[in-house]
Each structure stands twice: as structure tokens, then as C-alpha cells.
């Protein structure tokens, strides 16, 4: 089950982009952070399409997911 706080952040992003696009971009942002910046091109592509406060929502989602992941 997805924690409510993650869903609230996701729904904010999906409101203007749609669930599919928001989730795909969330995965790209997560991969960027996990790759220690190696996937910067993908990150910049996403960053160009979102407002700064929306990019912050991705970061908050990433941290929330890591809090609920064992051994992360």
C-alpha cells in the first residue's frame, strides 16, 4: 500500500501532467539521484518541463519512498 503522504505529493504532480507522465518523470528523477548524477541528461529533460516547486515535490516523494523502503 502506498503511504498517504506520497500519494498526496504524486497527485499534486499528476494534476497538471497526468498520472502516467508524472510517474515516468518521478522514476527519471529517482534514477538520477540513485546514479549520483550520471543520468543528468534525463534529469535536465524533466527539469525543463516542471516548475521549481514541482521539482521539489519529486524530491519529497523520493525521500518519502526511501523512508518506507527497507535497507535503502
pTM of the model: 0.75
The answer to whether 44 and 32 are in contact (CB under 8 A) is: no
pLDDT at 72 over 70: no
pLDDT at 11 over 90: yes
Count Cβ atoms below 10 Å from residue 38 Cβ, excluding itself. 11
**Which residue range is the domain that position 12 belongs to?**
4-68
pLDDT at 50 over 70: yes
Residue 52 phi, psi dihedral angles, 5° rounding: -55, -40
What is the count of structural domains for the chain?
A: 1
Task: Report the chain's C-alpha Rg in angstroms.
Answer: 12
pLDDT at 69 over 90: no
Instruction: Give the 3-state secondary structure of 4-17.
Output: HHHHHHHHHHHHHH
Average pLDDT rounded to a whole number, residues 12-21 = 93
Task: For residue 36, name the pLDDT band (cuts at 50, 70, 90).
Answer: confident
Amino acid at each position: 500500500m502506498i503511504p498517504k503522504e506520497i500519494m498526496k505529493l504524486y497527485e499534486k504532480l499528476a494534476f497538471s501532467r497526468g498520472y502516467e507522465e508524472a510517474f515516468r518523470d518521478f522514476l527519471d528523477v529517482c534514477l538520477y539521484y540513485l546514479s549520483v548524477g550520471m543520468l543528468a541528461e534525463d534529469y535536465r529533460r524533466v527539469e525543463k518541463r516542471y516548475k521549481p516547486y514541482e521539482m521539489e515535490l519529486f524530491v519529497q516523494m523520493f525521500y518519502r519512498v526511501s523512508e518506507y523502503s527497507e535497507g535503502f
